[in-house]
Amino acid sequence: MLKIEHLTKHYGTFPALQDLSLEIPERQLHGFLGPNGAGKTTTMRILATLMTPTSGRASVDGVDVVRKPHEARKLIGYMPDFFGTYDNLTCREYLDFYGRCYRIGAKERQRMADQLLELIQLGDKRDTYVDSLSRGMKQRLCLARSLIHDPKLLILDEPASGMDPRARADMKGILRTLREMGKTVLISSHILPEMSELVDSLTILNRGRLVLSEDVKSLAARMSGNAPLEIRLAEGCGEEAVDAVVVCLKELPGVAEILQPEPYLLQVRLEGGDEQCMQMLREMTARGLPVTDFHRIPMNLEQVFMEVTQDE
């Protein structure tokens, strides 16, 4: 659906985006992450035809966004990280106006506006003035605006920023519905835990360069293989028992590091796969050590993010 090839953008001599290549298949929620100044918004603005790249190309469903911006705009719905709403206008009129800008016929506009207002759970607010809506509602209305011409690709720049947890949950639900409807969504956000729950694949940019682009499932599998083990010991088992566990662990092959963040909690970094892990569990059980919990620390997108953006 979306193909980016060697996309580069320089502002004067400052490289905002360097040689970005990326491909996003249809019907995917793709996360776009990166620290401030990484080039996410620049990429999104190029894709939204608001800016031309210094070099490289990008196409949506085979249509080049640089050479054929007018055709590309029919395929793209863009929601920036600000509301962009008007006063003195009701929700339905707001959507109707943008529908007219896309030259959609009156009946079709009305049908789309009604459907979208239901989708974003603002069906009962259709005749309410936009400026009287809450922040979360305005954000959802802006999402509906970007959908009024039924685009194939949605580009959402920080769609949940500034929302309360309830509004964010609503937004997540709407995005899942959009995926079920067959839309491809490129979404940037700083709320990493929610992104990891929501997206199918993700790309991390840092200083204008791509540092990671991967399917979330494969990333999770890869990361969990290297994740540290957490061993919880029985409360009040005594220092001697804890020392015995540490001695036991040190004797085992593949143990690279042992940390003790709490008196009865150990974190072990293991150089090796599941075999070493199984051996460790067998050994501790055989020695009768007071282990109450033994598990790998689950993958955390925030840790991945910090790790891949740290080296740059």
Partner 1 sequence: MSNPILAFSATRRMRSFRTILTVTAYAGMLLLIAILMLKGMFGTSVTIQSMQQGVRCYLILTAAQFGLLVLIGPAMTSGAIAGERERQTLELLLVTNTRSFRIASGKMLESYAMLALLIVSGMPAMCLTVVVGGVSFSQVLVSMLFLLAVAFGTVCVGVFASACCRTSVRSGVMSYRIIALIAVITALPFIFGYPRNITDVVYDSQQYAALTKDGALKMIHPLLYCNPGFGLVALLQDQTSLLSGGSLENIPGFGTATMVQRTQYQQWGRLLCTYLMMDRAGGQSIALISSGAIAVAGSVLMGIATFLIRPRRKRVIGD
121 near partner 1, judged by CB under 8 A = no
When binding is defined by CB under 8 A, the residue of 32, 98, 264, 305 that contacts partner 1 is: 98
272 near partner 1, judged by CB under 8 A = no
When binding is defined by CB under 8 A, the residue of 84, 182, 236, 261 that contacts partner 1 is: 84
Binding to partner 1 (CB under 8 A): which residues in 127-156? 145, 149
When binding is defined by CB under 8 A, the residue of 61, 89, 252, 265 that contacts partner 1 is: 89
When binding is defined by CB under 8 A, the residue of 8, 54, 85, 110 that contacts partner 1 is: 85
Pick the closer one to partner 1 by CB: 50 or 256. 50
DSSP string, the chain: -EEEEEEEEEETTEEEEEEEEEEE-TT-EEEEE--TTSSHHHHHHHHTTSS--SEEEEEETTEETTT-HHHHHHHEEEE-SS----SS-BHHHHHHHHHHHTT--HHHHHHHHHHHHHHTT-GGGTTSBGGGS-HHHHHHHHHHHHHTT--SEEEEESTTTT--HHHHHHHHHHHHHHHHTT-EEEEE-S-HHHHHHH-SEEEEEETTEEEEEEEHHHHHHHHHHHPPEEEEEPTT--HHHHHHHHHHHHHSTTEEEEEEEETTEEEEEESS-HHHHHHHHHHHHHTT--EEEEEEPPP-HHHHHHHHHH--
When binding is defined by CB under 8 A, the residue of 5, 64, 93, 150 that contacts partner 1 is: 93
Pick the closer one to partner 1 by CB: 82 or 226. 82
Is residue 175 within 8 A of residue 185, CB to CB? The reply is yes
Kindly tell me the burial class for residue 12, based on how many C-beta atoms sit within 10 Å of its own C-beta (0-12, 13-18, 19 or more): exposed
Size of the site for partner 1 (CB under 8 A): 40
Kindly tell me the burial class for residue 216, based on how many C-beta atoms sit within 10 Å of its own C-beta (0-12, 13-18, 19 or more): buried
Pick the closer one to partner 1 by CB: 36 or 310. 36
231 near partner 1, judged by CB under 8 A = no
206 near partner 1, judged by CB under 8 A = no
211 near partner 1, judged by CB under 8 A = no
When binding is defined by CB under 8 A, the residue of 31, 56, 80, 159 that contacts partner 1 is: 80
When binding is defined by CB under 8 A, the residue of 7, 33, 58, 76 that contacts partner 1 is: 76
97 near partner 1, judged by CB under 8 A = yes
Minimum Å gap between C-beta 60 and partner 1 is: 13
Q: Please choose, out of 99-107, 176-184, 233-241, 267-275, the segment that lies near partner 1 by the rule CB under 8 A.
A: 99-107
When binding is defined by CB under 8 A, the residue of 42, 59, 203, 206 that contacts partner 1 is: 42
37 near partner 1, judged by CB under 8 A = yes
**Which residues in this chain contact partner 1 in the complex, by CB under 8 A?**
11, 14, 16, 36-42, 45, 48-52, 69-70, 73-74, 76, 78, 80, 82-89, 93, 97-98, 100-103, 145, 149
